[in-house]
Amino acid sequence: MSPEPQYDAAVIGAGFGGMGAAIQLKRLGLDNLVILEREDDLGGTWHVNRYPGLAVDIPSSTYSYSFEPNPNWSRMYAPGAELKNYAERVADKYDLLRHMRFNTVVEGARWDEDNQFWIVNIADSESISAKYLLTATGFLSQPRMPDIPGIETFAGKVIHTTKWDDSYDLGGKKAAVIGTGATAVQLIPAIAPRLAELTVYQRTAIWVTPKQDVAIPRRVQKLYARVPLTQRIVRLIGSGILELLMISAVLHYRQAKFLNRAAEKAARKHMARQISDPELRRNLTPDYDFGCKRPTFSNDYYPTFVRKNVSLETTPISHIEPDGIVTEDGRKTVIDTLVLATGFNLWDVNFPAIEVIGRDDRNLGKWWRENRFQAYEGVAVPYFPNFLTLASPYSYSGLSYFTTIESQMKHMKRLFGEVGRRNASTFEVSAVANAEFLDRMTEHLKDSVFALGSCSTARSYYFNQHGEAAILRPTSTINAFREAGRFPLDAYTYA
């Protein structure tokens, strides 16, 4: 008789994704679970990112679990610290902390065919075994360090935005920020006033639209607490607007190009209102279609470039010297602080974030690279029994990470329910169901801005090494939820 695994389930990652999965497992009666987390606390992105200006850029009423509304958000777009507190409260309420093991770096996991369970290898510790394996390692969790020649020779302070050093005083410093993604858009206005000089190195401009942010008055918070339906209505309206923008302007570009153009126009007008210098405007204007790359919202990003102590540098960087950055035209800017807002590496190291070896020695990362990135309904892969991969190709609902998590929780409910009804020990998605899903997503993508728009200059992390924009699920959020609750049960085999 084969030995029993130590745990019903091992969840990798204690961010909102892993917490959602754990909540669902507990609801399904799988209480003997362990949550393995490489950081020293829970919260994922919202624990790791602590840079000045950090906030959500999806309205908080939408960017939270629908089953755990928080009436106390201080603003429509809550600051990052509130998200971290929210994660702690949810973990407390659902009694998740006792399952969490921090500072635990998972090196890999292997399906043990003889014993029909997963062996999870942990750095500097004993391996563990679990019947089910769920990876919730996030999409933006492997920081990208730019490979700029000479960067290692820089003698001043270097800070990546995911490793913010609160003890470092920016006052009076001459700093450079490399990168102009959503992180830089939040960071730059927050640090510029404190610095003596700031040079922003932009390789690719970003589309920025106005942010309709307001503080939420105490009386509204009280109303949300007393009548939760009111906050639900706000969530519904906010989500509807986002869905319209995301789905129609980006995914249904063929049918609704005018919406895409309207968003682009709104961003151009926003810039024109805030910057009068035509050359600066030209330099900050993207040369790719809206939505090819993740756009963002901000009211103080453009005005920051009008400040006397801030300059925008668009000449490519040649190399870095101990005391400054040299651009390709030979100009050197002397700095003492180098801030890397250079984002994350998704496609080389994050899919999957750990080595996962399934049945017949199939290596997930290798298989994805050789056979296109794919996962049935964004959660399951053939040859990987009892495994759900939650940060997967075609899983991300463009609306909000929380709608992604909750549709995955719904999928888990239906799947594990069937496993229970059949008294089965294993489940595995069929190759046919997986292939059909991939074909369907590929077909949907043909209508999107990624296929029909002008994206070649966007350098968008949505695209992988095969040239496919394989992160976002190219369907509506409603479709994702419907399928999560109704997918054909024979998409899986049970044994």
- Residue with smaller CB distance to ligand NAP, 222 or 282: 282
Cα torsion 284, 288, 290, 294 to 10°: value is -80
**DSSP label of 29:** T
CA gap 310, 303 in Å, rounded? 10
Binding site for ligand NAP (CB under 6 A): 55-58, 140, 144, 146, 148, 178-184, 186, 201, 203-204, 294, 317, 341-344, 459, 461
- Residue with smaller CB distance to ligand NAP, 49 or 426: 49
Q: Is 158 helix (H, G, I), strand (E, B) or coil?
A: strand
- Shortest Å, Cβ 88 to ligand NAP: 19
Q: How far, CA to CA in Å, does 461 sit from each of 139, 247, 446?
A: 10, 18, 18
- Residue with smaller CB distance to ligand NAP, 342 or 389: 342
- Residue with smaller CB distance to ligand NAP, 301 or 368: 301
- Residue with smaller CB distance to ligand NAP, 254 or 459: 459
- Shortest Å, Cβ 296 to ligand NAP: 7
- Shortest Å, Cβ 40 to ligand NAP: 21
> Per the omega criterion (within 30 degrees of 0), is the bond before 352 cis?
yes
**Taking a C-beta distance cutoff of 8 angstroms, is the pair 174, 197 a contact?**
yes
- Residue with smaller CB distance to ligand NAP, 201 or 373: 201
Strand runs (DSSP E) across 316-454, as ranges? 317-321, 324-327, 332-334, 337-340, 355-357, 387-389, 427-429
Q: Is the CA virtual torsion 344, 347, 351, 354 positive or negative? A: negative
**Taking a C-beta distance cutoff of 8 angstroms, is the pair 47, 80 a contact?**
no
- Shortest Å, Cβ 343 to ligand NAP: 2
Instruction: Give the strand pairing for 324-327 and 317-321.
Output: antiparallel
**DSSP label of 337:** E
The backbone torsions φ and ψ at residue 340, rounded to the nearest 5 degrees and listed phi first, read -100, 105
- Shortest Å, Cβ 424 to ligand NAP: 37
- Shortest Å, Cβ 360 to ligand NAP: 36
- Residue with smaller CB distance to ligand NAP, 16 or 111: 16
- Shortest Å, Cβ 317 to ligand NAP: 6
Tell me the angle at which helices 218-226 and 228-243 cross, rounded to the nearest 10 degrees.
Answer: 100
Q: How far, CA to CA in Å, does 356 sit from each of 12, 124, 285, 475?
A: 12, 18, 42, 28
- Residue with smaller CB distance to ligand NAP, 132 or 396: 396
- Shortest Å, Cβ 51 to ligand NAP: 9
- Residue with smaller CB distance to ligand NAP, 90 or 184: 184
Q: Write the burial class of residue 154 (CB in 10 Å: 0-12 exposed, 13-18 middle, 19+ buried).
A: buried
- Shortest Å, Cβ 463 to ligand NAP: 11
Sheet with 197-201: strands ordered across: 157-160, 337-340, 174-178, 197-201, 310-313
- Residue with smaller CB distance to ligand NAP, 385 or 393: 393
Closest by CA to 64, choosing from 36, 41, 90, is 90
Name residue 9's beta-bridge partners.
Answer: 33, 132
In DSSP notation, 237-286 reads HHHHHHHIIIIIIIITTTT-HHHHHHHHHHHHHHHHHH---HHHHHHHS-
